[in-house]
Amino acid sequence: MDAGIISSPTSYLKHRLGPLPAERQLGDLEAWWQRSGKVSSATIDRQGTPWLRMFDRFGARVDEILYPPEYWEMLRTGYRAGAVWRAFAEESLLGPYQIGYVTSFFDPGLYCPYIVSLATAVPLFKYAESSVREQFLPFLLRRDDSVWQGATWMTEAGGGSDLGANVETVARRSEGKWLLTGEKYFASNAGADLAVVAARPEGGASGVRGLALFLLPRRKVDGSLNYLIRRLKDKTGTRSVPTGEVELHASEAYLLGDAAKGIYSILEVLNLSRVANSIGSVGLSQRALSEAWTFAEKRIAFGKPIIDQPLLRRQFDARMETLKAAFCLAWECVTLLNQVWRETPPYSERYHLFRLVAHLSKYWTAEVAVDMAEWAMKVHGGMGVLAEYPVERLLREAMVLPIWEGTPHRQILDGLEVMMRKKAHRLLLDYLVERGGEPETLTPLQAVAETWLALEPEAREAEGESYFRALAEQTARTLTLLPR
C-alpha cells in the first residue's frame, strides 16, 4: 500500500469505501489537524488532568473545567464539521462516523465527546415528548461554536457491566417533574449541557427491567446547576475528554420513552458508542501503523532501512492485512447500524444481526488497537517509550478501548446471549451470503458458532473467549473478500 494512504485517514477511508460524499470536508478536517490540531492535542495530553474550578470568587458553585482555549477550538472543529448535526441533516450516520475516524487517527479521546453527544441526540430525537425534543434537540444540532454537548452516564461505583445490580440512582415524581438522586462514577464529558442518564424509577422492578433513561440538563429551569462535579479523574490516557464523578441531588430530568422499556433505550445508547469504539480503535491502529512505517523507512540498521529487513517487512505486511480486516468489520458495523438506528422495540432480525456484529467488532478491534500500538512502540525501540514522541501515547490511549462501553467479557456474554436467543449467528451467515460470500467459504465460521453453542452452559461461558475471538476474526477476514 502507498505510504500516502496509510498516513492519511481520509485517503484510507476513500481507499476502502470508494468515493466519499463529504470527501472535501473530511480533507479539510484532516488538514486542520495536520496544521494545528496535532500540536494542541499533544499539549493537552502533556498537561494531564485539567483543573476543576468548583466555586467562583464569591463562593457560588460553578463547576467549570479549565481547559486552555486551544482545547475548545480543537473540540469545536469536529462539531462544526458535523460530528452530530450531519446525522440528522443527511438522515445518515455514515458522515458522523467518518468524522470520528479522522478524529481518532489524531486523538481518539476527543472522539468521545462527539459520540456521546450523538448518543444523547438520538434517544432525544426518538423517545422524548415533542415539547422536550423541540426544547433541547436544536441546541445539539447547531453548526457553530454555540453548540451544546451531550453525555451518557450509566456507570456507578459498583461497576458498569451489571447495570441491573449497580445502578442505584433513583428517579421520583414530584409535582409533575422527575427528580434524580444518586451518583455516576465514570461520567465522561463531565460538564456537558445535556446528559442521558440511567436511573430506577421509585418503586420500579429490580434488575435491568426496572431501569429507565432520562434526559438531564446541566441547569435547572431556574438557571442553577442541576448536577455537581465532585472531581475529575486522573487518567492514563484520553485526557482530551474530561471524566468525572457526578452527584445528582433531586436533579430535574425528563423521561425518555416508556419507563417499562427503558433498558432497550439504554442499550441503544451503549451500542452507538460501541460502534464508535470500533471506529476509534481502527483509526488509532492506522495511526500506529503510520508512525511505525514513517520511522522504519528512515531508521538504518545493518546497512539498510529497517522496513527492508525481511522479518520486519513481514510484520508490516501482516498488520496491513489486520488493519484491513479490522476496518471492514468496524465499517460493516456502521453500515448495519445505519440501517436500523431508527428502529424501536420490538426490533427486526436485522437489528439483532447488528447487535452481534457490534459485539464482535467492539471486542476484536479494541484488541487489535492495543496490539498495534504496542507493536509500533517495539518498532521504535527505545524511542518508543519516550514521552516526547507520539507512539507511547498511542499505547496509553489504546488501553481504554477494550474497557469503554463494556469490557471484553461483557461483549462475549452479550454476543452469546443474542446468538442463543435470537439465532444471530445464523442471521450473520445469511447476511454474508447476501453480501456476496460463497456458502462453502463460510463453513469454518459456521462450525465455530455451532460448536460453541453445543457446549454445556458452564463450559460455553468458560470457553467463550477463544470461540468469540475466532468468530470475530473469521467474520472480519471474510468481509475483506466481499465486494464493497
Boundary (domain end) residue, out of 227, 260, 293: 260
- The pLDDT assigned to 27 comes to 97
398-426 b/e (C-beta count within 10 Å ≥ 16 → b): bbbbbebbbbbebbbbbbbebbeebbbbe
Contacts of 130 (CB under 8 A, 6+ apart): none
- CATH number at 28 reads 1.10.540
In a domain, 146, yes or no: no
370 and 464 housed in the same domain = yes
Mean pLDDT of 44-66: 96
Cα of 108 vs its chain's centroid, Å: 9
Instruction: Judge whether 199 and 210 are in contact, CB under 8 Å.
Output: no
- CATH number at 203 reads 2.40.110.20
In a domain, 249, yes or no: yes
In the chain, the percentage of residues whose pLDDT exceeds 90 is: 95
406-436 pLDDT tens trace: 999 999 999 999 999 999 999 999 999 999 9
Separation of alpha carbons 122 and 128, rounded Å: 10
- How many domains are there within the chain? 3
- CATH number at 461 reads 1.20.140.10
- The pLDDT assigned to 306 comes to 95
224 and 313 housed in the same domain = no
Instruction: Judge whether 40 and 73 are in contact, CB under 8 Å.
Output: yes
Mean pLDDT of 206-231: 96
Range of the domain at 332: 263-480
Instruction: Check residues 225 and 4 and name the one with the higher pLDDT.
Output: 225
Residue 15's alpha-carbon distances to 23, 347, 436, in angstroms, are 12, 33, 20
Q: Residue 328: count other Cβ atoms within 10 Å of its Cβ.
A: 22
- The pLDDT assigned to 439 comes to 87
336 and 433 housed in the same domain = yes
Instruction: Judge whether 190 and 65 are in contact, CB under 8 Å.
Output: yes
State the pLDDT confidence band at 154, using cuts at 50, 70 and 90.
very high
345 and 459 housed in the same domain = yes
The residue type of 353 is: L
The x, y and z cell numbers of residue 100, run together, are 470520528
* DSSP state string for 208-275: GGG-EEEEEESB-TTSSBSSEEEEE---SS-TTS-EEEEEEEEEEEEE-S-GGGHHHHHHHHHHHHHH
In a domain, 179, yes or no: yes
Residue 248 has pLDDT above 90, yes or no: yes
Q: Is 359 left (phi over 0), alpha (psi -120 to 50) or beta?
A: alpha
Instruction: Judge whether 121 and 140 are in contact, CB under 8 Å.
Output: yes
Mean pLDDT of 290-304: 96
375-404 pLDDT tens trace: 999 999 999 999 999 999 999 999 999 999
State the pLDDT confidence band at 369, using cuts at 50, 70 and 90.
very high
182-195 b/e (C-beta count within 10 Å ≥ 16 → b): bbbbbbbbbbbbbb
- The pLDDT assigned to 246 comes to 98
Mean pLDDT of 440-457: 94
Boundary (domain end) residue, out of 119, 140, 161: 140
Mean pLDDT of 23-42: 97
Residue 89's alpha-carbon distances to 26, 81, 111, in angstroms, are 16, 12, 20
255 and 268 housed in the same domain = no
Boundary (domain end) residue, out of 225, 260, 295: 260
Residue 1 has pLDDT above 80, yes or no: no
Residue 160 has pLDDT above 90, yes or no: no
In a domain, 145, yes or no: no
Separation of alpha carbons 410 and 391, rounded Å: 29
For cell 473540540, name the residue: 75
